[in-house]
Amino acid sequence: MATTPTLPEAFDRFQPTAELNEESDLGTLTFSTEISDEYEAVNAQEIFPEGFYTLYATFAYDGLADGMVWSWIWRHNGEVVEGGNEVWNYGDEGPGYIYFNPEE
């Protein structure tokens, strides 16, 4: 039985002024420790060695609208270690990324 992920209350801070529609699409995430100037993953991986580095998640998006609210959560072994949300202000299509840069 599939469950719908829920956003922890701490990351649910904004109300949208634009709604998702059937054409809204946030593509598949690709992970890497580097991205290009075009926000593409450099040397994409799924497994990363232990160490100190920034982890990027890149994606393509289409059909979004400024004013939507989007959220992200980083988990490690099922536990939320970082996340956030904000009002979308990046246009209707293009490449995008988020990153995780832990202190330890």
pLDDT digits (tens, 9 = 90+) for 36-78: 999 999 999 999 888 888 999 999 999 999 999 999 999 888 8
What pLDDT sits at residue 2? 53
What pLDDT sits at residue 34? 96
Higher pLDDT, 9 or 2: 9
Token pair listed for 100? 């995780």
d(CA 31, CA 13): 26
What pLDDT sits at residue 89? 95
Characterise 38 by phi-psi region: left (phi > 0), alpha (psi -120 to 50), beta (else): alpha
Quick check: 81 pLDDT over 90? no
**Residues 6-36 pLDDT 10s:** 777 888 888 888 888 888 999 999 999 999 9
d(CA 50, CA 47): 10
What pLDDT sits at residue 75? 87
- The answer to whether residues 68 and 14 touch, using CB atoms and an 8 Å cutoff, is no
Token pair listed for 31? 């992970």
Say what the pTM is.
0.84
